[in-house]
Structure 1
Amino acid sequence: MFKFRKKNNSADKQARAKELFEDTPVRKAAWIVAVPGLLTSLMIGLYAFLNQVFILNFVPKTVSLLYGDLATDPNSGQLYDYLSSWNGVKLSRDEFNLISNVYSSYLTTGENISKITGDSIATISVNATIPFTIFSSSIIFLIPVGASVYYTKCISKNLERTGKDLWSTSFYTTIFVSIITALLMYVGIWSGLLNLLISNSNLNVDALEKLNNNQDVKMLLAKHGYINEASEVLKDYFKAGENMSLYWAKLYIYIYGAGTLIQGVYVLISYLIRSEGKNSYVMFWAIIANLVGIGFNALFIMVFKMGVLGGVLATIIGWSVNLLSYIAYIVYNNKRQSTWISVHHLVSFKFRLKFLSPISLLGFSAFLRSFGVSIASFLITYLLGHMPFSEGAISIYNWSKAAPVVTLFFIALFGIADGIRSLLSYNYSKRNFKKCNEIFKWAMIITFTYAFVVVLLGVALAPQFLWMLNTRTATGGVLAQNSGPVIYLRINIWRMLFYSFAIGGILLFQGTNNIKMSIIVTAMEGFITFWFVMGSCVGLGFILHNAGASLFVSSLMISIGYVLNALIAGIIIFILSLWYLKKTLPNIDNIKQSWSRKIEHEFFEKAEIEEKIYFDNFKTSKI
């Protein structure tokens, strides 16, 4: 017979959660749950950053594009495999640089030419994968966020059987969602969507014509038996670079998609463990898993010379370490009777289809939060690569170099909200609105403190961060203060501080299970204000370009628009959250129920009835 502990003992399994969420002062509890959440997410960002550090620093040193790139293997070159069939001219690195330099000499002041190096190929290919990986993460969070909120409420109401069924139902739903996510990523490749993110090089027609008449270039190509126009050779080499970037990006996404099942399950369990008050456990193993991932990054890229492939394989290994650590948590704590998360309950449970509606609706807000970033990243990359006032591949290169540094720190903002959400949700269920106000206040204090420090570091150390990403001068030093990547980074890092205004609102509406407002605030930046702000800034880019501004200055308006959008969306969300906190929350039980509150009330009314029936049957079976 299935063994089940009596209800009066079930609370003991969640003693840690009750002590932390109910008895610990908010000023202390907020830090206890926020710091592990922040550090856990920061480690994810740090891993993504170091992953790119390895790719951008060591792929150029281990993968040869042209003859002469590697002193250890001067007669190898992968780029030749991507040349057109008619192009039999296999230029060495020195020969290609000669043609490129001649072309550059014909450019007008302010014009630049993109490079074909291992660094540029890797940078553009990894940047092209970002919308897909963010999209994957956004769908993966569809179930865990909502499940963790309702799991916390089950803990506060001592609904053990419901909590266990919630875990099992969420587990199998997450597996299904993860498989669908992988298929959608592959469809994005097969449909040609990925191709749009690999920009074409904007070559100057007049400079190309002059290149055709250059005698040194003609003599060089004649040595290779080529007597036609040099411009066609140069354009084909840039096209080959684009095709190589596309191939690397496809390879990355195929393998990343195959690992989404591991990612989905480990994320779900981590959220439920946090709901049980074990934030430090999640933080500890996030650190360990990322260190393991970094180690395999070094092994695959530096030793086995696997390039971008090594980076994505190391990522999946890191996820696997996380998953194994959470399985160990389940086994150990089940023996101690200190958790509701049970492997046994994945077999002996009741699949509650009605759970999917409330947890999916609440999780949909988390999906929109990340999906909006994915859409914005896709559109910005497309705009930088295709707008007539942009520098094309150069603009994407500058944007791509700034993105890893911003991502490193930005993702931790959501970690603060994820860490504190269970604390807020628990006290909201207990109708302790005074504590809810305190929790919101401390969440904003922690968020703004973190964001302000990061912005100062980002602005002050921008050249140094970029140096770590192999973005350096010709002599290997840090970039000048007025260089493109430095300016892009110093602009984009302000998004950290501006979006901090939104974190309190995301926390508040998700934690209080206000589905409608959760959807509105998480959709604000990516789907509501984005089109107005970015549209205005693109218009300004056209105006500046037509007024004679350089391509660099006019294309910078796209990046500025992205940052301004975060400020506008953040302030709107902050105002909405203050209104809800001060005006609506204190009277929440005296006003007409919203549809989201009706869903919640119906959920727990039925849960309490089923819980009582189960225990009555259980007691009868024992007689």
Structure 2
Amino acid sequence: MKNNNEMVNKSIFTVYMKLSFPIIFGMSIQGLYGLFDAIFITRYIGTYAMAGFSIFFPVLLIISAIGVMFGTGTAVLVSRHLGASNNGDANQVAIISLISGLIISLFLTLVGLINLDSILYALGATEDIISYAYDYAYPLILCMPILIITIIAGDLLRAEGKTKQMFAIMLTASVANIVFDALFIVVLKMGIGGAAIATIVANLIALIWAFLLFRSHHTAINLSLINFNFKISIVISVLILGIPTLISNLSYGAIIFLVNSLIKESGLDNAGSLLSAYGIIFRILSFLILPLIAMMAALQTLSSYNFGAGKYLRSLSALKVACLISCIYSIILTLSMFLSFDLVFKIFTDDPSLIKETTDIASSIFIGLAFLGLTLIFIGFFQSIGEVKYATFIVLSKLFVQLVLLWFIYKMFSVENMALSFVITDISVFVLSLIYLRNKINKWRRNTNIFLENENRNVAL
């Protein structure tokens, strides 16, 4: 942003687009290296390697969830402080969050390294794939602090509207990851461990660049330790604001874990193929929802900033714009995917049976994408205005419904029908969260003057 006054004065639609597009492109490009990991692993190492990756994927989501929890909570607080022109407080929050994230990641690294074999077997690893899962997991567990701190640093840039710089860092890291994937896997024959090392090196490049940017005095946050005072109350506030995001990411990991476990329990001859199919789909889905997550992140930044500045109607208008953009994206994406499933999955494998299984599963999962996108937007809005309990309620509802449906469909029908649980969950939770949001907004309007305070009713869209 050229001037942070734009955040509170300029057209909501214009500001939202300026915030969201760099984040969308940046996260999408960054997500490409996850897809390239899957492509390189499947094509150059094999199906068992992809199954090993699928086993560890829930842990990777947990690592990401911890970073995103700190990053989201920090970004909301920092944006509010910057909106209220409290740059010193914003800097304090940033430093405390980075230190806290480092301490927790070091502790989890130690626990993970000691118990890695047990963790992988508990996640459903078999003797055929345990070596692949271990080779991929070990470097990532060892370098967990790099992964978590990089996420927090990126959210700090987003919090003050430095989305172009964030995009440049993500682009560079993504290109580096793809290049190192090719080098380590194809040229140096390092196997699945090479994919993990490529991810670590790319994140390290992004982290170094972000810290150089903070120390260049071109950002409101400079990470200066002058007058620094570690406050546990700030850590608690960050964690509380980030809890819905943590639960959301952990929920995704729990769902993948249950899917993998039920496939393993089924004893089907094609269990390994089903694991690979779900692994491919989860990788693609994780990539395709990144723009939706970016839209939610842009909404959090814009809504939090205006909420901190007392511009409450602008926060609500930002929600409306975010819902519109997410709907357009989701509908176009869903139609495109249904018209090109075979072409997309052939990028990962030439095995006709695996392509068919993957297509059958994806057909059920992708129907609910638009509803999932809107639910994410609602969660982000509640976080941005400090209504954490409502965001948490939506996330927990989604987890509960999904797990119950997965188990019910598996027991009553078969493992092949489990994909139906995704679309049923997405639609059900969207309806629930929409009712909840409407009731909450109506209650605000009846009982408070929050939307009338400090601003004109005619907010520019």
* TM-score greater than 0.5 by the shorter chain: yes
Pairing partner for 2:159 from 265, 271, 275: 275
Q: Structure 1 residues 464, 472: CA separation in 2 closer, same or farther (over 3 Å shift)?
A: farther
Structure-to-structure mapping, 1:154-303, within 5 angstroms: 154-186=81-113, 189-190=116-117, 192-198=118-124, 242-303=126-187
Give distance in 2, aligned partners of 1:378 and 1:568: 22
Kept in 2, the 8 Å contact 1:17–1:276? The answer is: no
Pair 1:445-2:324 in alignment: yes
Pair 1:374-2:234 in alignment: no
1:578 corresponding residue in structure 2: 438
Pair 1:458-2:337 in alignment: yes
Pairing partner for 2:391 from 506, 513, 518: 518
2:457 corresponding residue in structure 1: none
Give distance in 2, aligned partners of 1:465 and 1:584: 46
What's the offset of the Cα at 1:466? 1.1
User: Cα deviations across residues 457-500 of structure 1 (Å, max 9, x unaligned)?
Assistant: 221111111111124349xxx95xxx222211222223422312
User: Cα deviations across residues 425-469 of structure 1 (Å, max 9, x unaligned)?
Assistant: 111223323222221111011111111122122211111111111
Q: Which amino acid aligns with 1:330?
A: F
Structure-to-structure mapping, 1:294-373, within 5 angstroms: 294-332=178-216, 334=217, 338-342=219-223, 344-345=224-225, 349-373=228-252
Q: Structure 1 residues 249, 589: CA separation in 2 closer, same or farther (over 3 Å shift)?
A: farther
Q: Which amino acid aligns with 1:261?
A: P
22-31 or 563-572, larger mean C-alpha shift: 563-572
Give distance in 1, aligned partners of 2:206 and 2:404: 40
Kept in 2, the 8 Å contact 1:270–1:282? The answer is: yes
Kept in 1, the 8 Å contact 2:8–2:309? The answer is: no
Pair 1:529-2:413 in alignment: no
Q: Structure 1 residues 590, 486: CA separation in 2 closer, same or farther (over 3 Å shift)?
A: closer
Give distance in 2, aligned partners of 1:471 and 1:577: 45
SS at match of 2:435: helix
What's the offset of the Cα at 1:590? 7.2
2:60 corresponding residue in structure 1: 133
1:559 corresponding residue in structure 2: 419
Q: Which amino acid aligns with 1:377?
A: I
Give distance in 2, aligned partners of 1:36 and 1:422: 13
What's the offset of the Cα at 1:387? 2.9
Q: Which amino acid aligns with 1:462?
A: F
What TM-score results when the alignment is normalised by the length of structure 1?
0.69
Q: Which amino acid aligns with 1:195?
A: Y
Give distance in 1, aligned partners of 2:73 and 2:210: 19
User: Which stretches of structure 1, 4 residues or longer, exceed 6 Å deviation after superposition?
Assistant: none
Give distance in 2, aligned partners of 1:588 and 1:373: 36
User: Cα deviations across residues 309-368 of structure 1 (Å, max 9, x unaligned)?
Assistant: 110111011101111211221122x1x5x42222x42x7511112111111111111110
Q: Structure 1 residues 186, 560: CA separation in 2 closer, same or farther (over 3 Å shift)?
A: farther
Q: Which amino acid aligns with 2:169?
A: W
Structure-to-structure mapping, 1:38-77, within 5 angstroms: 38-59=24-45
Give distance in 2, aligned partners of 1:512 and 1:589: 15
Give distance in 1, aligned partners of 2:398 and 2:185: 36
Q: Which amino acid aligns with 1:159?
A: N
Give distance in 2, aligned partners of 1:44 and 1:491: 26
Q: Structure 1 residues 31, 319: CA separation in 2 closer, same or farther (over 3 Å shift)?
A: same
Taking only the aligned residue pairs, the percentage that are identical comes to 15
Kept in 2, the 8 Å contact 1:171–1:268? The answer is: yes
SS at match of 2:229: coil
Aligned residues: 451
Pairing partner for 1:498 from 351, 371, 374: 371
261-270 or 578-587, larger mean C-alpha shift: 578-587
Give distance in 1, aligned partners of 2:248 and 2:267: 30
Kept in 2, the 8 Å contact 1:134–1:370? The answer is: yes
Q: Structure 1 residues 588, 287: CA separation in 2 closer, same or farther (over 3 Å shift)?
A: farther
Q: Structure 1 residues 416, 363: CA separation in 2 closer, same or farther (over 3 Å shift)?
A: same
Instruction: Extract unaligned runs of 5+ from structure 2.
Output: 452-461
CA RMSD of aligned residues (A): 2.3
SS at match of 1:340: coil
User: Cα deviations across residues 578-609 of structure 1 (Å, max 9, x unaligned)?
Assistant: 32234326745679xxxxxxxxxxxxxxxxxx
Give distance in 1, aligned partners of 2:55 and 2:368: 21
What's the offset of the Cα at 1:394? 3.2
Kept in 2, the 8 Å contact 1:167–1:341? The answer is: no
Give distance in 2, aligned partners of 1:352 and 1:379: 38
Give distance in 1, aligned partners of 2:450 and 2:211: 43
Q: Structure 1 residues 417, 181: CA separation in 2 closer, same or farther (over 3 Å shift)?
A: farther
What's the offset of the Cα at 1:376? 0.6
Instruction: Extract unaligned runs of 5+ from structure 1.
Output: 1-14, 60-118, 200-241, 542-553, 592-623
Give distance in 1, aligned partners of 2:448 and 2:233: 25
**Which has a greater percent of helix?**
2
SS at match of 2:127: helix
Q: Structure 1 residues 49, 586: CA separation in 2 closer, same or farther (over 3 Å shift)?
A: farther
